[in-house]
Chain A
Amino acid sequence: MFTPGSKYFVGLTGLSLVSAVLYMILVNPSDMGAYALFGLVLSGGLVAGFSFFTRDGDADTAADAVEASSYAPANSFWPLVFALGIAVVLLGLVTHPIVFVLGIAVLVGGGVEWTVQSWAERASADGSYNGYVRHRAIGALDYPGLATVVLGVIAYLFSRIMLTASKSGAAVIFIIVAAAVLVLGFAFALKPSLRGKATALTVTVGMLALAVAGIASALSGERPELAEYAEAKHYDKSHRECGEEEGKYYDHEANNTVSLRSAVLATVFVEDGKVRAQMIGLKKDVDTITIQRANSTNILFRNLDEEDHRLVVNLGTEVVAETGVKEKVGTCTQLTGQNQEQVLTVNIPKPSSDEQVYSFTVPGAEGEIKVVVP
């Protein structure tokens, strides 16, 4: 009744079960040891069942034996990849969604390759022919898939290096790597005899260097200011400073280039510590800017002072529904350096009135520009 193989696993299952029961009675009924022993019971029972039903993989009849011998299975590492995928998926479940998704990708990739290979191996008794069948079915995907993985690894490792090095250091590294790629490319193009071993050696050394430097960089972490950005929630969408400068780095990231001058309604200047404004089409200073109601309107801010400044639009106050507290409403540009400019886009749905006063101000500079919304 029992095959030789199934006997071992039935014995293992029984032994595990007894051990688990004893462990639960004598040690602890609900700790990891008990779970592990019961896991052994389940997995042992499962394998014993498989072994029993497949009769240890032995052929039932002579015909089965002939058919079985006609397969030409080759060595395959796809089961290993598949198993790795399972492990990564499980790891992802308890660590990070990205790891889980990565595991799924490995699992699917390994599973597909394994399935196709198994299918191809049933084509004939000729291993090389089976290899050709497999290649015809899925070979076109092998290199792009492999290239994607390799490029992904290179990009990840290189990004770690760039994030760890200082700003200027990162620029130097980038220039050196780009120059090296260019020189080697030229060399290989001009001297075909250098190809082959020299290429393999260069790529191997380069990848090793990249791997070592990338792993070392990943272990040492990002450069200090990037860590501070993260700590100060610099990348958080809610991060906004419209008053005096508080953050150490936030506003210095402003682009300070503007490409929509033809679409601005007015320009607000800061010069000699004072705020002034001009409306498009009117070459004189104004102290009031009229903005159309309920229409996105661009205001250009130009800083002519030595100090960095930002433009703030004050849109009165409103009661926050969640807290019931009256809070200031408004927004602002980022800090703008000397002779640089930024655009502030505002859309004001309600008209201005004695109760609802709007204005443009520049913290640290005198004066304000009144905003009128008809």
Chain B
Amino acid sequence: MSHTDPAQTKEKAMDTVTTVKSSRRRFAAAIAGVSATVFLAGCATNAPQDTFAPKGPNAKLIDDLQMIVFPIAGIVGVIVLALAGYIFLKFRDKGQEIPSQAHGKPFVEITLTVIPALILTVVGVFTFRGIFDLAETEDTELIINVTGQQWWWEYDYPVQADLGINQPIISSGQLVIPVGTKVLLRETSRDVIHSYWIPALNGKKDAVPGRIHLLRLEADKPGIYAGQCTEFCGLSHANMRMEAVALSKEDFATWVANQQKAYVPPAAGTLAAEGETTFINQCSRCHQVNGLKDANGKPIISAPDENVYSGAAPNLSHLMSRNTFAGAIFDLVNEECRADVWNAKSEEFGAKYLKGVSEECLNEKDLRAWLRNAPAMKPMYADPTKLEPTGGKYRGMPNLGLTEDDIDKLVAYLLTLK
């Protein structure tokens, strides 16, 4: 038989109480820390994907709806949580007898059914009106096909003569639209489901293989609006970004005209001319540059469908008119030039953007690194020894094993694709 020292027992009990209090304190501190972080995140000044900062009528419509629904939901949430907390504390088990159990209180039941029904009706009216307004397509002024694939977005502008688009324009990374114009995106996908979302301009819409989903965009002012794929689509989902560039109508017409300009080969004997040959040998299997011809004058048609799982690789015609590359995760312009464009006043923005990427502004570091070893820059299924599941086709750009000399030539050539 063992004897227990009362002093020791008391001490142990005190230790236990202290431990419990300490762990509670730590838990409360953790909760407070997370809450403060979340709360303070709302104060971020550089938040280009802010959901509560609409820059066009469609996003404004959603924002207006949020302004109605969130307070209502918040008030209901607080009331329910407060009541639940009160009941939890007031009627917690303290060893008391179970109170009398009553069934059937018609007044309470009807009240608790009617009130939520009324709240939902009010919310529903506004929500449905918003949904139908967002689905409106009758007054579309510009159509753009948007095609998602792992892990970049392709934009092609069908022929629309009234907007000066007399031959299709194809681009990637940046979607260029005119301000104050009702633009209709026709979204689809070449491989898996993606989702297109530019928070400042509208809600998100899935891009589904075999289907065409419509999404209306409209920007109030010139500028760049950032977005991101919001449907998990594989390894580099987080690196599948997009930017919408809004230009004044005049600037958009200039952009359209520039995109339709014929290909101008680099002057013979230059480094860029050597780069063109390197491009033809190393890159044109997948990447199309419209107008590029081989030594016999025959147009070079890329065959991404033979090499890439999705069947497509970015068309690099007029590459240097864009500010981004590789699924918009890298800038083609350096930080200084980027800041100059992003922070430009509305009236100056178009001119600065349309300058494109000059030699001085080129973000050569990232571009060279990408050409040197693309899979090291962005996770992709580009290991040639592991392509069995995709029938020998890449998902992403492989390491081409280019020499520094090749890279010099290619950079010089790509700079000519204005």
Residue contact A374 to B311, C-beta cutoff 8 Å: no
- A-side contacts of B190, CB under 8 Å: 292, 294-295
Residue contact A353 to B301, C-beta cutoff 8 Å: yes
Q: CA A293 – CA B184 in complex, angstroms?
A: 19
Residue contact A349 to B299, C-beta cutoff 8 Å: no
Q: CA A262 – CA B312 in complex, angstroms?
A: 24
B47 within 8 Å of A (CB atoms): no
Q: CA A372 – CA B137 in complex, angstroms?
A: 23
- B-side contacts of A280, CB under 8 Å: 186, 212, 214
> Which single member of A265, A286, A355, A374 contacts B170 (CB below 8 Å)?
A374
CB-defined interface of A348-374 with B at 8 Å, one 1/0 digit per residue?
011101011000000000000000101
**Which residue of B has the minimal Cβ distance to A353?**
B299
Residue contact B147 to A292, C-beta cutoff 8 Å: yes
Q: CA A361 – CA B299 in complex, angstroms?
A: 26
Instruction: Select the residue from A264, A286, A295 with max chain B CB neighbours within 10 A.
Output: A295
- A-side contacts of B315, CB under 8 Å: 374
Q: CA A283 – CA B139 in complex, angstroms?
A: 8
Residue contact A349 to B305, C-beta cutoff 8 Å: yes
CB-defined interface of B175-191 with A at 8 Å, one 1/0 digit per residue?
00000000010101010
Knowing A281-B184, A288-B159, A349-B305, the reply to whether A293 touches B210 (Cβ < 8 A) is: no
Instruction: Select the residue from A263, A293, A298, A356 with max chain B CB neighbours within 10 A.
Output: A293
At the interface, is chain B mostly helix, strand, loop or mixed? loop
Q: CA A36 – CA B190 in complex, angstroms?
A: 67
A63 within 8 Å of B (CB atoms): no
CB-defined interface of A132-152 with B at 8 Å, one 1/0 digit per residue?
000000000000000000000
Residue contact A263 to B156, C-beta cutoff 8 Å: no
B72 within 8 Å of A (CB atoms): no
Residue contact A292 to B154, C-beta cutoff 8 Å: yes
Q: CA A295 – CA B154 in complex, angstroms?
A: 12
- B-side contacts of A351, CB under 8 Å: 288, 290, 301
Residue contact A372 to B159, C-beta cutoff 8 Å: yes
- B-side contacts of A288, CB under 8 Å: 158-159
Q: CA A353 – CA B310 in complex, angstroms?
A: 22
- A-side contacts of B168, CB under 8 Å: 290, 372, 374
Chain A: residues with Cβ within 8 Å of the partner, total of 28
Residue contact A265 to B301, C-beta cutoff 8 Å: no
CB-defined interface of A281-324 with B at 8 Å, one 1/0 digit per residue?
11100101110111111100000000000000000000000000
A55 → chain B, closest Cβ, in Å?
Answer: 65
Q: CA A117 – CA B312 in complex, angstroms?
A: 66
B211 within 8 Å of A (CB atoms): yes
> Which single member of B147, B169, B212, B290 contacts A262 (CB below 8 Å)?
B212
CB-defined interface of B152-176 with A at 8 Å, one 1/0 digit per residue?
0010111100000001111000000
A81 → chain B, closest Cβ, in Å?
Answer: 49
Interface positions of B from 181 to 222, Cβ below 8 Å from A:
184, 186, 188, 190, 209-212, 214
Q: CA A294 – CA B288 in complex, angstroms?
A: 13
Knowing A349-B305, A353-B299, the reply to whether A282 touches B143 (Cβ < 8 A) is: yes
Residue contact B147 to A281, C-beta cutoff 8 Å: no
- A-side contacts of B138, CB under 8 Å: 283
A322 → chain B, closest Cβ, in Å?
Answer: 20
Q: CA A355 – CA B304 in complex, angstroms?
A: 19
Q: CA A374 – CA B303 in complex, angstroms?
A: 13
Interface positions of B from 135 to 151, Cβ below 8 Å from A:
137-138, 140, 143, 145, 147
Interface positions of A from 243 to 300, Cβ below 8 Å from B:
262-265, 279-283, 286, 288-290, 292-298
| Top 7 A-B residue pairs of the complex, sorted by shortest distance between their CB atoms | A294-B311, A290-B158, A374-B170, A349-B305, A374-B168, A263-B211, A281-B184
11 further interface pairs, Cβ-Cβ under 8 Å (given A262-B211, A292-B190): A263-B210, A263-B212, A264-B212, A279-B158, A289-B158, A294-B190, A294-B305, A349-B305, A372-B158, A374-B169, A374-B170
- Interface CB pairs A-B, < 8 A, 19: A263-B211, A279-B143, A279-B158, A280-B186, A281-B137, A281-B140, A281-B143, A281-B186, A281-B214, A282-B184, A286-B158, A288-B159, A294-B305, A294-B310, A296-B209, A349-B311, A350-B301, A356-B301, A372-B167
